[in-house]
Amino acid sequence: MLHSIRFRLTAWFASILTVAILLISIAMYLGLQQALMSNVDQTLRMAAERSVQTVRQNALKSTGSTIERVRTLTYIALAPTRLLLLEGGVDRIDPLFPADIHVDSQALAAAARGESLYESVTVETGRYRLMTAPLSVNGQRLAAIQVAQSLDTEMVTLRSLRDLLLIAAPVTLAFATLGGIVLGQRAFAPMERVRRNVETIIADNDLSHRVGRQLANDEVGRLAQTFDQLLERIESAMNRERQFSADASHELRSPLTALKGELSVTLARTRTAEEYRQVLEGLEVIVDEMSLLVEDLLALSRASAGILHKEEFDLHALLEQLIERMSALAQTRQLTLAMKISNEPLLLLADRMKVQRVITNLIDNAIRYTPHGGSINVQAYHDGAQVCINVSDTGIGIAAEHTPHIFERFYRADNARTRDGAGGSGLGLAIADTIVRAHDGRITLHSTLGRGSTFSVWLPES
């Protein structure tokens, strides 16, 4: 449960939401409190100012000592008000002024300094907001006007808000978390479906299943589609391997059947020494054919493994060596094998033995598929940052319908198959292609049926 993303997401979501709701609630409560208080303070200030004003006006009109005048004067009270004498004592108490609010020295001290003071006090009769305003007559600071307002209404309003928040916040949190859980479930359901599909693929060992079908084109859907592409690749690679094993077995079965047939016929009765010799010579041809095939299979598997023993070498020297070695074979078939190589060194950083195998395979094919009297040309030159090797012949050529498949394993063009003894294992070009690709190069074919073929190999220069 703790390891599920859904759970962690919901937990995070709920925690953040709790903090947010808490902060908003506190801010709302404090904001309202502030607004109410400033409202009360404003009322108190207006009441106090009004009282101070009336006292001053009346004081100017009356006679007697200043303090007497202040004491005897009437004023208009907009809120419960009392007069505090700075020398001590309370005077002219409004009957509405809460009697249990004591005069505090802080208020008197502030008034003596000529400052107004706001206070909140709690007494038996309730909670009050007090404002003490200094009162000076004829430039003499004699008294202070103190105004009070009950905070009952404000307290009720604040308490109602608090109660509302205490109910609304948990309910909102619960609904939002529930919504989060449902949304999480809906968002993760396709993932669970993909997981179950993959599980089925593993259980059935069937790569033809696809996981992303019927999924929306969202993040999960696209992930599943990518996974399907991977499955498709693996499936086709496995099919290719299966096909390859079947083809390889088939290729090996033919010579083995021939071998078995020859042996059965020969062993059916006693033969002369000469007859045995003839049979053995026949068998040797079949065994040679089989070893060639096995050797090619091995070469192909090594090439597919992609292990390269790279070294820097001059292609020039390698080509000269190969052409010298193969011209004897070309001569036996009355073919001219010529070479045209640029004079500058053609340096390659590659697996020498493997590159040699590619070129040998191409020249070998050219010799094999070119009728007597034809010619074979090998060319090598720089082509940008690459070295290009062309092997062209004036041979039988390859029909256009075969060219797209010519580099496939065991693929043979019909005209080659029908030529007596001309066919090889059908792996030569596949081996060449695999080796060239492993070197980040490419191999192409241009051919005209009955006129000849040109195989071109591009390899990156060192």
User: Looking at beta carbons only, is 55 or 398 nearer to ligand ADP?
Assistant: 398
CB of 210 to ligand ADP, least distance (A): 34
Q: Give the whole-angstrom CA distance, residue 322 versus residue 309.
A: 20
User: Looking at beta carbons only, is 180 or 426 nearer to ligand ADP?
Assistant: 426
Neighbours of 44 (CB within 10 A): 24
Out of 80, 425, 443, 458, point to the residue binding ligand ADP (CB under 6 A).
425
Q: Give the whole-angstrom CA distance, residue 380 versus residue 345.
A: 10
Which residues, including other chains, have CB under 8 Å from residue 404's CB and lie 6 or more apart? none
CB of 287 to ligand ADP, least distance (A): 18
CB of 450 to ligand ADP, least distance (A): 10
CB of 239 to ligand ADP, least distance (A): 20
Out of 75, 244, 369, 458, point to the residue binding ligand ADP (CB under 6 A).
369
Q: Check binding of 398 to ligand ADP (CB under 6 A).
A: yes
CB of 232 to ligand ADP, least distance (A): 27
Q: Check binding of 435 to ligand ADP (CB under 6 A).
A: no
Angle, alpha carbons 107-110-114 (nearest 5°): 135
Judge residue 33's burial from the number of C-beta atoms within 10 Å of its C-beta, 0-12 exposed, 13-18 middle, 19 or more buried.
middle
Is 117:108 a contact under the CB 8 Å cutoff? Answer: no
Q: Check binding of 395 to ligand ADP (CB under 6 A).
A: yes
Site for ligand ADP in 123-152 (CB under 6 A): none
Q: Check binding of 396 to ligand ADP (CB under 6 A).
A: yes
User: Looking at beta carbons only, is 225 or 377 nearer to ligand ADP?
Assistant: 377
Judge residue 436's burial from the number of C-beta atoms within 10 Å of its C-beta, 0-12 exposed, 13-18 middle, 19 or more buried.
buried
CB of 298 to ligand ADP, least distance (A): 15
Q: Check binding of 70 to ligand ADP (CB under 6 A).
A: no
User: Looking at beta carbons only, is 70 or 443 nearer to ligand ADP?
Assistant: 443
Out of 70, 248, 293, 406, point to the residue binding ligand ADP (CB under 6 A).
406
SS3 226: helix
Q: Check binding of 393 to ligand ADP (CB under 6 A).
A: yes
CA distances 439 to 63, 345, 416, Å, are 119, 19, 29
CB of 297 to ligand ADP, least distance (A): 12
CB of 426 to ligand ADP, least distance (A): 4
Q: Check binding of 251 to ligand ADP (CB under 6 A).
A: no
Helix, strand, coil percent values for the chain (each to nearest 5): 55, 20, 25
CB neighbour burial string for 4-17, b if at least 16 within 10 angstroms, e if fewer: eebeebbeebbeeb
Q: Check binding of 303 to ligand ADP (CB under 6 A).
A: no
Is 111:49 a contact under the CB 8 Å cutoff? Answer: no
Displacement of CA 364 from its chain's centroid (Å): 49
Identify any residues that bridge with 377 across adjacent strands, giving them in sequence order: 338, 392
Binding-site string for ligand ADP from residue 32 to residue 61, where x marks contact by CB under 6 A and - marks none: ------------------------------
DSSP symbol at 461: B
User: Looking at beta carbons only, is 66 or 454 nearer to ligand ADP?
Assistant: 454
Judge residue 347's burial from the number of C-beta atoms within 10 Å of its C-beta, 0-12 exposed, 13-18 middle, 19 or more buried.
middle
User: Looking at beta carbons only, is 271 or 419 nearer to ligand ADP?
Assistant: 419
CB neighbour burial string for 81-117, b if at least 16 within 10 angstroms, e if fewer: bbbbbbeeeeebebeebbeebebbeebbebbeeeebb
Site for ligand ADP in 328-367 (CB under 6 A): 361, 365-366
Binding-site string for ligand ADP from residue 89 to residue 108, where x marks contact by CB under 6 A and - marks none: --------------------
Q: How many CA atoms lie within 13 A of 79 on its CB side?
A: 25
Q: Give the whole-angstrom CA distance, residue 172 versus residue 182.
A: 15
Out of 73, 211, 335, 427, point to the residue binding ligand ADP (CB under 6 A).
427
User: Looking at beta carbons only, is 351 or 408 nearer to ligand ADP?
Assistant: 408
List contacts with ligand ADP (CB under 6 A).
361, 365-366, 369, 393, 395-398, 406, 411-413, 416, 423-430, 453
